[in-house]
Copies of this chain bind each other. A is one copy, B any other.
Amino acid sequence: MGDLITEAVSGTLYYLDKSIFDSIIESNIDGLQRSELFAHMARLNALYMIANAGSGHIGSSFSSMDIVSYLYLEGMKKDDVYFSSKGHDAPGLYAVLTALNVLPFEKIHRLRRLDGLPGHPDVNVPGMVSNTGSLGMGISKAKGMVFANLQKGYDSHIHVMTGDGELQEGQIWESLISATNHNVTQMTVVVDHNKIQSDYSVERTSSLGDLQAKFRSFGWYVQTIDGHNMEEISGAFDNAKKMQDMPSVIIADTIKGKGVSFMEGRSVDSDVERFQFHSGAPNVEDYTRAAQELISTINLGFEKLGLTIPQYEIVKRPVKPSSSQQTVKLFPSYTKALLKQAERNSKIVALDADLVLDMGLEPFRDAYPSRFIECGIAEMDMVSQAGGMALNGLLPVVHSFSCFLSTRPNEQIYNNATENTKIVYVGGLSGVLPAGPGHSHQSVREISALGSIPNMVMVEPAHPDEVEPLLDWCLNVHDGPSFLRLISIPFETDYERTSVLKPVIGQGEIVRKGTDLTIITAGLLGVSLALKAATELHNHDLDAKIISLPFLNVIDGNWLKEQIGGSRLVVTIDNHYRRFGQGDAIAVALTEVNGLNDCDFLRIGLNETPPSGSNDEVLQHVGLDPDSIVRQILKRF
């Protein structure tokens, strides 16, 4: 196999067919040895899935793999249940479930594809018992499942895995209390204690201190084991199930990226090194080295157990279709804009919840270490801290992904707003894209979730050059809280700016002239789609005016009424649920000034929970592609 890999310098992916898994399951080898070998095999398939999908979480799929393999092969009775609270380790679980025929095996080729295997768990997929991916909910959910089982007299043990970074979420500790009081023993919690979270070590990000003492003080039975030692894993689950006096947690000492030497997390010992394999697909070289190592390990395992060395399936690594259009990114502009503002105003501080890299905050952190606060995965705490800072004269800029930032600390953001302070919330990963991670990460309801807070103004740039003026408006013009909604992925757009955006609250800019209809939208995705649709509509002799309106929840109806004069149709495009998105705010603002009396109105946006899939697949599925938009518009003419 070594030769084969060396030859195929690029573009070859490897996986094991289900028949190979069948063969070791049917063999007479020792159960724990089988589980260990199975785990190595499943790692290869998980790696394949991630490389094939171009995205996914290697680190925790690998660190949890021995435990998951043990549970499915040895540890669980027929009606027992396992799920992962963090859910990032889904590819690892899928590798196990496909090998065991819980999931159709062919699905391994469909990670993060439409009608395939979502980036995070979804109950529509066989074998998945709960939607996770939003952190901290798993133990609560497991308790609910146990309660229901007891009501029904149903004998099923629930196994729920949490991350360790995940333990920074308050809900975890909230959920421990009643488990003790109700003595929930039909559930075992296992912590995949791999000691590394998104960017850095747990110790550096927000140390959990003495984890055993913490669980014990909450009245839990605590076992600490080597999470890669099958004897210890097996013994711990046996003990946990015997314990009837208190709920059980197993703290499993694991290694992030376990099984591939150069992927194994070592940043625990370093204050600087960033772990490289938390999420995202490895490059060709890394993939090849990793697959080679896993294959060697698997072969060695087969040999040791006296089994025939297996055959590996080989497929071409999919090539990303290159595009004629150039993509643009918002975050580099955001990083620059924040640094520029911070230089001018020493009151600006930046808070982050374990997404320093994704939110483009490394340069700020390095330039202003004393003004950067890493809060860990603790959004409520972060937002209320920002509240206290703002009360005492600072100007906090609060960062996380929009899906989390708009919802987990929802009451905290409102509470801060009632104090009339100025805080800027910056949400990344906004909108339906990237579609791979699925609904836990697709943020398509923040306009609704936060938009009614008095004096809260939400803005979204349609172009990298709009990031700075909008951030400037939030920090220096608007007197109140604001939310800067940013798309994280590079995206193609025909939109070119020729002048500097001068934000006026509730107003936007004419991006394209036209007389038949007016498309009003916001953001990189919205304006890009509108421009593409307009080009196509031109072929149908329809001339669309496009208004880029960066204000999402506050609309100047009179200004807008003037702009749309003469249009037969007003179309809004929302990278958000239609209900209580920007389109609704536009409809209401225009209605209030009788601005729609003489024309039709069409709202385009999401009506249903978006699926996981490739970006193009999902945009088409939800009707946010140029063709679907054009079709809907043509129906009105």
Contacts and interface: CB of A to CB of B under 8 A. Distances in A.
B177 A134 contact: no
A175 B449 CA distance: 24
A596 interface: yes
A605 to B, nearest CB: 10
A129 interface: yes
Contacts of A581: 452
B178 A375 contact: yes
A439 interface: yes
Contacts of A170: 136, 169-175, 380
Interface stretch (A70-78, A211-219, A486-494): A211-219
A177 B145 contact: no
B206 A217 contact: no
B381 A175 contact: yes
A48 to B, nearest CB: 27
Interface in A139-161: 140-149, 151-152, 154
Contact of A219 (B131, B175, B209, B376): B209
Interface in A99-130: 122-124, 129-130
Interface in A191-244: 206-210, 213-214, 216-219
B587 A140 contact: no
Interface string A296-314: 0000000000000000000
Contacts of A277: none
A206 B590 CA distance: 50
A474 to B, nearest CB: 19
A79 to B, nearest CB: 11
A621 interface: no
A385 B439 CA distance: 20
A577 interface: yes
A511 interface: no
Nearest to A453: B445
A92 B592 CA distance: 46
A452 B580 contact: yes
B380 A171 contact: yes
A285 interface: no
A230 B151 CA distance: 50
Interface stretch (A16-24, A28-36, A408-416, A560-568): A408-416
Interface stretch (A5-13, A249-257, A391-399, A501-509): A391-399
A310 B181 CA distance: 49
Interface string A381-394: 11111111111111
A25 interface: no
Interface in A350-391: 370-371, 373, 375-376, 378, 380-391
Contacts of A553: 579-580
A269 interface: no
A140 B209 CA distance: 18
Given A174-B381, A439-B418, A144 B389 contact: yes
A607 B454 contact: yes
Nearest to A167: B177
A415 B587 contact: no
A424 B440 CA distance: 21
Interface in A428-462: 439-440, 445, 447-449, 451-454
A220 to B, nearest CB: 10
Given A217-B214, A388-B148, A419 B577 contact: no
A419 B414 CA distance: 27
Contacts of A597: 596-598
A45 interface: no
A268 interface: no
Given A140-B385, A603-B592, A391 B130 contact: yes
A137 B452 contact: no
A175 to B, nearest CB: 5
Contacts of A177: 168, 206-209, 376, 378, 381
A180 interface: yes
A174 B144 contact: no
Contacts of A600: 594
A27 to B, nearest CB: 35
A431 to B, nearest CB: 14
A130 B419 contact: yes
A217 B383 CA distance: 24
Contacts of A375: 178
18 contacts: A131-B419, A137-B384, A140-B388, A144-B389, A145-B391, A145-B392, A151-B349, A177-B209, A178-B381, A180-B209, A403-B411, A418-B609, A445-B453, A448-B452, A452-B576, A584-B585, A587-B587, A587-B591
Given A144-B389, A170-B172, A449-B449, 12 more contacts: A122-B418, A130-B391, A131-B415, A136-B380, A145-B388, A148-B393, A403-B411, A418-B609, A445-B452, A445-B453, A448-B580, A596-B597
By Cβ-Cβ distance, the 4 closest A-B pairs, closest first, are A144-B388, A170-B170, A170-B174, A140-B384
